Amino acid sequence: MTEKTKQKGSFLKQAAILAFAGILVRFLGFVYRVPMTNMLGDVGNGIYGAGYNIYMFLLILSSAGLPAAISKLVSERLALHQYRNAHRVFQVSLLISTTLGTIFAILLALTARKMAILVSSPDSYYAILTLCPTLVIVAVMSVYRGYFQGMHTMVPTAISQIVEQIFNAFFSVYLAYVFLGLYVPMGQTKNLPLGAAGGTMGTGIGAAAGLVVVWISYLLIRPDLLRRAERCKQSHEESKKQLAKKIMQTALPIIAGTAVFSITNLIDMGMVTKILQDIGFSDMEATALYGQLNGKYVTLTTLPVSISTAIATAVLPSIAASNRMGEKKEVKRKMNLTMRISMIISVPASVGIAVLGPQILEMLFPSAKEGGMLLVVGGVSIIFLALCQTATGVLQGLGHIKVPVVGALLGAVTKVILNAVLISIPALNVLGAVLSTTGCYLVASIFDVCMLSRITGVKFDWKRVLLKPVAGAVVMGAAALGIYHGLHHFIPYNIVCTLTAIVVAMGVYAVVMLWIGGIQEEDLQAMPMGRKLVRICKKVRLL
């Protein structure tokens, strides 16, 4: 086996590991969000979402760019056998991240009430408070994950993500249930603000469990890392000050690009409820509609994108190393493969969620099933968000970390303008926010992909990247609708019909894509359990 073949296999394997973890983590996320949504309802979901979005914004400012920055810098130094410099990147990053996480945690605790009022959700005060310690925990954990990813091993990150979500799922549901019954106001049956705070408290407990996993993983290999660093004979020693500067120079543009999209979520929070109230909705109705938007539409549409994000995370250090070594052909191959896998997963998810949106919500949230039209209208946003995330990962790996920031800004401006225009139309109301989100990701993805193609000179094979997945997804969508309505005529149980339609539609999509050449052996290898899938397809002569 040649060195390039080994690298190719490693790249595919690491992408598959993170993608599999992404699928499992999102599945576990659904497992706990279903009972939580049914307990809290749309109003409680609105309170929970308001607090969580504020936390996510400050989390991004404190540590979101660090895993990608650390991954890139460590991978580049390991490619040049600079083991001591690579370990110093980790040490300096840990100090920076812990400091920033602590500062933002204190800032959030001191301004929690004002933040809640600022986003038109004063009831989210307790949810915001419970998330303060989580900022420090996640900041530290992000450094360990970035270091492992830079060493081209995604296993500790994947395991920690799964453990984190298991603890998060259990404690979020349990604490939400317990807190809903505490200090219930007169005339009400639940204390929704405290219930939402119980849900957010589970996030911190899950993060702590994930941190323990990566910390133990690091302790197991630390002696070997230190020995390798001591024996390393490198020509250039980087000081901690130099590395701190490089880390921040790499991380800040990534943080800026991610923060722009997070800011749009905060703007959404303020604009949606305010505009809805201006056009005649009560405070409670506006909060409930925002709960549908954040707790259902956002939750469901970001599920498939998490897989694209995992692939982008896995490809970043690999592309960074190939680019540093001057392997232009390998960089182009990884770019095309990454974009294809992203669309093979995201396009059918977009169509499936759009055609079965109301049925999926009724299946998952029988006690709070409203909001299906949001998925029907906004399912297409999955494609553009996946394109944007994937292109961002590749651009970061190539060192063009400022380009996605511009794309994000263009998308944010588009969203704010469309929000103001569309939500104020009574017939659209909250659907306007969904349409503006689609417009935001459309603009950002077009800019990022065009810039990526221009910078690298790579012309993507759009027939394989997009057209064939769309063709397969159209057939799949028609099959899903036909199966659901045909089966529902004889078996009037939504959950049975929906699950059957989804499973059969997935099979139809796979067969169509293999038949038209939309999925090839290399693509399957990059997916979770890729080797087994290849063997099965060859046995039935689909490859």
How much is the mean pLDDT over the chain?
86
List the alpha helices (DSSP H) in 457-467: 462
Report the pLDDT value the prediction gives residue 315, as an integer from 0 to 100. Answer: 62
Q: Is the pLDDT of residue 431 over 80?
A: yes
- The token pair at 523 is 């693509």
- Averaged pLDDT for residues 340-346: 88
pLDDT per position as a tens digit, 159-202: 999 999 999 999 999 999 999 999 888 878 889 999 999 999 99
Of 184-198, 277-291, 297-311, 344-358, which has the strongest mean pLDDT? 344-358
pLDDT of residue 6: 45
Q: Tell me what pLDDT residue 8 has.
A: 47
Q: What pLDDT band is residue 5 in, cutting at 50, 70 and 90? A: very low
For the cut 90, the answer to whether the pLDDT of residue 11 exceeds it is: no
What is the structure's pLDDT at 312? Answer: 60
CA angle 311, 87, 217 (to 5 degrees): 60
Q: Which of 376, 528, 530, 360 is nearest to 17 (CA)?
A: 528
User: In this predicted structure, what is the pLDDT of residue 275?
Assistant: 92
Percent of the chain residues past pLDDT 90, beyond the cut: 43
More confident residue, 543 or 362: 362
Please tell me which residue, 274 or 27, carries the higher pLDDT value: 274
Classify residue 325 by its DSSP letter: T
Confidence of residue 476 (pLDDT cuts 50, 70, 90): very high
User: CA distances (Å), 94 to each of 57, 69, 161, 321, in order?
Assistant: 20, 12, 19, 22
Per-residue pLDDT tens digits for 376-412:
999 999 999 999 888 887 887 777 878 888 998 899 8
pLDDT digits (tens, 9 = 90+) for 436-456: 999 999 999 999 999 988 988
| Residue 457 in tokens | 């000179």
Quickly list DSSP for 479-539: HHHHHHHHHHHH---HHHHHHHHHHHHHHHHHHHHHHHTSS-HHHHHTSTTHHHHHHHHHH
Q: Which residue has the higher pLDDT, 113 or 536?
A: 113
What mean pLDDT comes out for the span 18-44? 80
Distance CA 226, CA 62 (A): 28
Positive/negative CA dihedral, 442, 336, 342, 470? positive
pLDDT digits (tens, 9 = 90+) for 225-269: 888 888 877 767 888 888 999 888 888 877 776 776 677 777 777
**HEC assignment per residue over 383-452:** HHHHHHHHHHHHHHHCCCCCHHHHHHHHHHHHHHHHHHHHCCCCCCCCHHHHHHHHHHHHHHHHHHHHHH
Looking at beta carbons, which pairs linking 2-7 to residues 24 or more positions away fall under 8 Å? Answer: 4/330, 7/318, 7/322, 7/330
Tokens describing residue 232: 């390393």
- What's residue 91's pLDDT? 92
Tokens, residue 475: 């057939």
Q: CA 12, CA 16: separation in Å to the nearest integer?
A: 6
15 has a pLDDT exceeding 70: no
pLDDT of residue 536: 81
Q: Which residues, 6 or more positions from 447, have their beta carbon under 8 angstroms from its beta carbon?
A: 406, 407, 410, 411
> What are the backbone angles phi and psi of residue 334, rounded to the nearest 5°?
-65, -35
Name the band, by pLDDT with cuts 50, 70 and 90, for residue 468.
Answer: very high
d(CA 142, CA 134): 12
Q: Determine what percent of the chain is predicted with pLDDT higher than 70.
A: 91
**How many residues does this entry show for the chain?**
543
**Is residue 265 a contact partner of residue 60, using CB atoms and an 8 Å limit?**
no
307-338 pLDDT, tens digit per residue, is 666 666 666 666 767 777 777 787 778 788 88
458: phi then psi, degrees, rounded to nearest 5: -85, 125
The maximal CA–CA distance of the chain, rounded, in angstroms, is 74
d(CA 244, CA 247): 5
Spell out the residues 6+ positions from residue 241 whose beta carbon is closer than 8 angstroms to its own. none
Asked whether 509 and 519 are in contact (CB, 8 A), the reply is no
Higher pLDDT, 75 or 29: 75
Dihedral, CA of residue 167, residue 127, residue 115 and residue 248, to nearest 10: -10
Do 79 and 324 contact (CB within 8 A), yes or no? yes
Which amino acid is located at 158 in the chain?
A
State the residue for tokens 């303020």: 270
Structure token pair of residue 109: 């605790």
